Structure 1
Amino acid sequence: MSKKSKGYIPVMLTPFTESGAVDFAGLTKLTELYLRAGAAGLFANCQSSEMFNLSGEEMLAVTEHVLRIADGAVPVVATGTFGGPVEKQADFVKQLYGTGVEAVIVITNMLTEESESAALFDERFGQLLDATPGIPLGFYECPEPFKRVLTAEQLKRFVGTGRVIYHKDTCLDIEQIKAKLDATRGVADFGLYDAYMVHAVESLKAGSAGLSCIQGNYYPELIVWLCNHYDNNESADQVAIVQQFFIDHMDIMHAVYPVVAKYFLQKRGLPISTFTRKNAGVFDETVKKRVDLFYLQFRQLLEQIELIPNGMMLS
């Protein structure tokens, strides 16, 4: 997943039918949207995918479907640890890796309880490494059910094993990001992807391999644009405008998520339902009007920076 050029790794949604079944036709369209937008990879089966509301069989089926649609165009990673004894988690890691993913992602809050120590986490991750020989792994600092953020020292040790190639960071602290980048600098087969768009440009300039954020479930091509232009002096004014756009709309993009993201994509012409299995909150008329306004502002931004989406309808 690590590249010299910066990349956007979508944290993929899972489309559902109105009856609550996985909508594989919608998943095809969604995967194609990310690819057309220029995604450097795909993160299937993550929190945005409602992974905690999928069965093990559904996780495998969704991941396999994404792999089929991607057809080798970009690497695919997927989450594979969901609590319980390390041996049980290792078994599912092996199943998921068998689908053909580039790496299996370890949720940092699933190896130890919130009250347990970092030392115990290190011990259990070592056990997971031993139980999954040869399988490339990554980390995801998932916010639910609680957030366990790795330190720079921990990440350096884990990357030093040669087995950890990907890290989705959610610490929300640019100084911690810089420390982690300094600790892992020069490791060719590792990439840190930042989830926090408030400091996206600063993170990219500090050395992040790219971005992996929920904002890409509204307008993936805008994240790709930022990865391609963040350090272009000729685009500096536009980059500042885009960065501020992310900051200004942070609240609405997190409100009743992922329902709002699916509604936004509907407005863009993607044929998917807004159905979600998780209790995301109430998508009422007030929220809808806010998203409608947000959509108009997005259209205006595209005109301002002269970005034409690749193959995505704009109704």
Structure 2
Amino acid sequence: MENSQKGFIPVMLTPFLSDGNIDYPALTQLTEIYLQAGSSGLFANCLSSEMFELSDKERIAAIKHVIKVVDGAVPVVATGTFGGPIAKQADFVKAVSDAGVEAVIAITSLLADESESDEVFNDRVFDLFNQTSNIPIGFYECPVPYKKVLKPQQLADFVATGRVIYHKDTCLDLPQIKEKLKLTAGQAFGLYDAYIVHAVESLKAGSSGLSCIQGNYFPELIVWLCDHYNDNALKDEVQVVQQFLIDNMDVMHNVYPVVSKYFLQKRGLKISTFTRRNVGSFTPTVVKEVEKLFDDYSALRSDLNIEVFI
């Protein structure tokens, strides 16, 4: 996942049928949209995928489906730890690895309780490494069940083993990201920032790319930002895009992922707004806000001459 060219790694949605089962034709189309937009990898079975609402069987089936559709075009990573004894987590890491992913993602908050020390957490991580042979590992500072942010030196120690190749960072703190990048420099490792508010500065600081929910509305815009963040000829346009993303943070996070599925419907994707997770009410007010977002994005996309496939 380490790449000299900045890349976008979408945190994938899971489309559902109206009866609550996974909609595999829609998942195929969604995967193709991410690829057509220029994504450099995919993060399947993540929080945006409603991973906690899926069974183990569904998790593996969805991951395998994505890998089949991708057909080697880009690497795919997927979550493989869901709590319990490390031996149990290691078994599922192996199952996810066997599905064909580039790296298996460990959820930091499921390796130790909030009350447990960093030493306990570190011991569990190294235990997981020991029980999973040489499977490449990534970390995701998922906010559920609580947010466990890795300290820069912790991350550096894990990366130094050669086992960790990917990190989805949610610390929201640019100085901390810079320290993480400094301490992991020269390693075959990529840090992908989830916080779109400082996306441009994070990319300039050395992040390998972005891995944010905004890509579930307009993946081609996030790819454009990764491609042009440091283009002096487009510095004004880059600032406009960064500000657009900042201004619409609240709209895109409210009642998510229902709102992003509705937005994708407006783009032409045959996807329902069904979600297994209770994320609040999709009220007429929220609908109106998303429709304004769609209109504003359509105008921005036109101004930037960004090609879209739906």
| Structure 1 residue 263: Cα displacement | 0.1
| Structure 1 residue 207: Cα displacement | 0.1
Residue in structure 2 matched with residue 267 of structure 1 by the alignment: 266
Question: Structure 1, residues 81-110: CA drift from partner, whole Å, max 9, x if none?
Answer: 000000000000001100110000000000
Structure 1 gaps of 5+ residues are: none
Superposition misfits of 4+ residues, deviation over 2 angstroms: none
Measured in 2, the distance between the counterparts of 1:304 and 1:151 equals 40
Measured in 2, the distance between the counterparts of 1:129 and 1:57 equals 24
Residue in structure 2 matched with residue 78 of structure 1 by the alignment: 78
Structure 2 gaps of 5+ residues are: none
Residue in structure 2 matched with residue 252 of structure 1 by the alignment: 251
Residue in structure 1 matched with residue 306 of structure 2 by the alignment: 307
Measured in 1, the distance between the counterparts of 2:191 and 2:176 equals 12
Q: What secondary structure, in the 3-state scheme, does the structure 1 residue paired with 2:207 have?
A: coil
User: What percentage of aligned pairs have identical amino acids?
Assistant: 62
Tell me the amino acid that sits aligned with residue 167 of structure 1.
H
Tell me the amino acid that sits aligned with residue 205 of structure 2.
A
Residue in structure 2 matched with residue 11 of structure 1 by the alignment: 11
Report the TM-score, using the length of structure 2 for normalisation: 0.99
| Structure 1 residue 183: Cα displacement | 0.7
Question: Structure 1, residues 252-298: CA drift from partner, whole Å, max 9, x if none?
Answer: 00000000000000000000100000001100101001101111000
Measured in 2, the distance between the counterparts of 1:128 and 1:303 equals 48
| Paired residue total | 310
| Structure 1 residue 306: Cα displacement | 2.1
Q: How does 1:185-264 map to 2 (within 5 A)?
A: 185-187=185-187, 189-264=188-263
Question: Structure 1, residues 197-237: CA drift from partner, whole Å, max 9, x if none?
Answer: 00000000000000000000000000000000000000100
Question: Structure 1, residues 164-190: CA drift from partner, whole Å, max 9, x if none?
Answer: 000000000101110100110111x20
Q: What secondary structure, in the 3-state scheme, does the structure 2 residue paired with 1:234 have?
A: helix
Measured in 2, the distance between the counterparts of 1:74 and 1:304 equals 29
Measured in 1, the distance between the counterparts of 2:38 and 2:102 equals 18
Q: What secondary structure, in the 3-state scheme, does the structure 2 residue paired with 1:20 have?
A: coil
| Structure 1 residue 305: Cα displacement | 1.7
| Structure 1 residue 2: Cα displacement | 1.1
Tell me the amino acid that sits aligned with residue 275 of structure 1.
F
| Structure 1 residue 52: Cα displacement | 0.3
Measured in 2, the distance between the counterparts of 1:236 and 1:4 equals 21
Measured in 2, the distance between the counterparts of 1:118 and 1:80 equals 21
Measured in 2, the distance between the counterparts of 1:221 and 1:305 equals 11
Measured in 2, the distance between the counterparts of 1:273 and 1:96 equals 27
Is 1:123 the counterpart of 2:112? The answer is no
